[in-house]
Amino acid sequence: MPIRFFDTHTHLDYLADDLQLTIPELLTNAQTMGVERILVVAIFAKNFEKVTACSRLEPNHIVYGLGLHPLYIEQHQQADLDLLEKRLSERDPHCTAIAEIGLERGVESVSTPTLWQKQCEFLETQLALAKRYDLPVNLHSRKSHDQLSVFLKKAQLRQAGVVHGFAGSYDQAKRFVDLGYKIGVGGTITYQRANKTREAIRKLPLEMLLLETDSPDMPVFGFQGEPNRPERLVVTFNTLCELRRETPEQIAETIWQNSEKLFWKKA
């Protein structure tokens, strides 16, 4: 069986703009490296329609998530949450996640007491929507793992989700895993200096890992300064194989099944 990949976190709408390529062209490039399925996530209410359109163009390969990203908390309004709820209530089967949501403490401008409170309120509301509509979440967490885990423990989502682009220690990752959340493995592990994250990914159960690119962000080693692309998922996969004891075939198939179960459209 050929190795197949599912890129579980992308911003394909932005990548298409950056590279001046169409969504079908981006998918064709991804498929040359075995990337057969892709989740596209939103960051603003204003790009809900764009990410939805990505799946309409390639319904057999692309699903999407709708959500409000914490990095842009200053711009989000109550009306955006209202629109999110409306879109979720009318969603089609290709809307398989609430994404990208979470917490951001790595940027001072959105970490003031007022905006931090707003971040927490927006996260809590979106977790409640995930529970109501029985959808998994795709989570952003930068310098906020401890705070995020408290919200997730309280929310008790049936579908749980993934902490995307994880960069942290084994103990931090284990806390999420113990709550039922997968860990998104991205380009961070391709950098030798990321010892703490590489060690965490080496030790975690394979059943709790997903692969992602965060295209056009989070470039892999050797491609710094360039927009990241779904086909470069294989670079992260190769590094993962160097870190793990399982065979490449076992790693690929287990992660494919993990990804399918969590984010592919249900029959």
Q: What is the pLDDT along the chain (267 residues), one digit of tens a residue?
A: 689 999 999 999 999 999 999 999 999 999 999 999 999 999 999 999 999 999 999 999 999 999 999 999 999 999 999 999 999 999 999 999 999 999 999 999 999 999 999 999 999 999 999 999 999 999 999 999 999 999 999 999 999 999 999 999 999 999 999 999 999 999 999 999 999 999 999 999 999 999 999 999 999 999 999 999 999 999 999 999 999 999 999 999 999 999 999 999 986
Q: What is the pLDDT of residue 138?
A: 98
In sequence order, the β-bridge partners of residue 161 are: 137
Q: What is the pLDDT of residue 267?
A: 63
Q: What is the pLDDT of residue 266?
A: 80
Distance CA 82, CA 78 (A): 6
Residues sharing a CB contact under 8 Å with residue 179, sequence separation 6 or more, in sequence order? 149, 152, 153, 160
Distance CA 94, CA 58 (A): 10
The whole model's pTM is what? Answer: 0.97
CA nearest to 130, candidates 98, 85, 102: 98
Q: What is the pLDDT of residue 1?
A: 66
Nearest 5°: the CA angle 209, 111, 101 is 35
